[in-house]
């Protein structure tokens, strides 16, 4: 969060997310036989959905009115969190030079 000190828990949480993301991403590349953004999105979505559902990680941009309006309309927070983390995973892929 902006303006707060970084704690050991924040660092551990970020490291655990990246570890889990790679633990899903690498086998997914082998299974699908392709190196594209789809793998990055699926890995981010999977880790994000499970993490948000089990309250292991927070919802990125969770204070946004759009997120809470969608949640009020019946979209589960795990799906919203998975979608956001999937987009973050796709951004990792873009930074690594992957495309669809």
Q: Note the pLDDT tens digit of each residue in 38-76.
A: 999 999 999 999 998 998 888 777 667 777 788 889 889
Name the pTM for this structure.
0.82
CA-wise closest residue to 19 among 63, 56, 54: 56
Q: What is the mean pLDDT of the chain?
A: 86
Q: How many CB atoms lie within 10 A of CB 55?
A: 9
Q: Looking at the chain, how many residues does it have?
A: 100
- CA-CA distance, 44 to 21, in Å (whole number)? 6
Cβ pair 83, 60 in contact under 8 A: no
Model confidence at 89, pLDDT cuts 50, 70, 90, reads very high
Helices (H), the chain: 8-32, 37-53, 65-72, 77-95
């Amino acid at each position: 969060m902006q303006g707060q000190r970084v704690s050991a828990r924040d660092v551990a949480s970020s490291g655990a997310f990246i570890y889990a993301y790679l633990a899903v991403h690498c086998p997914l590349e082998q299974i699908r036989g392709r190196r594209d953004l789809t793998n990055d999105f699926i890995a981010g979505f999977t880790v994000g959905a499970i993490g948000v559902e089990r309250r292991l990680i927070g919802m990125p941009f969770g204070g946004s009115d759009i997120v809470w309006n969608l949640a009020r309309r019946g979209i589960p927070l795990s799906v919203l969190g998975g979608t956001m983390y999937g987009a973050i995973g796709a951004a990792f892929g873009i930074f690594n030079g992957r495309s669809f």
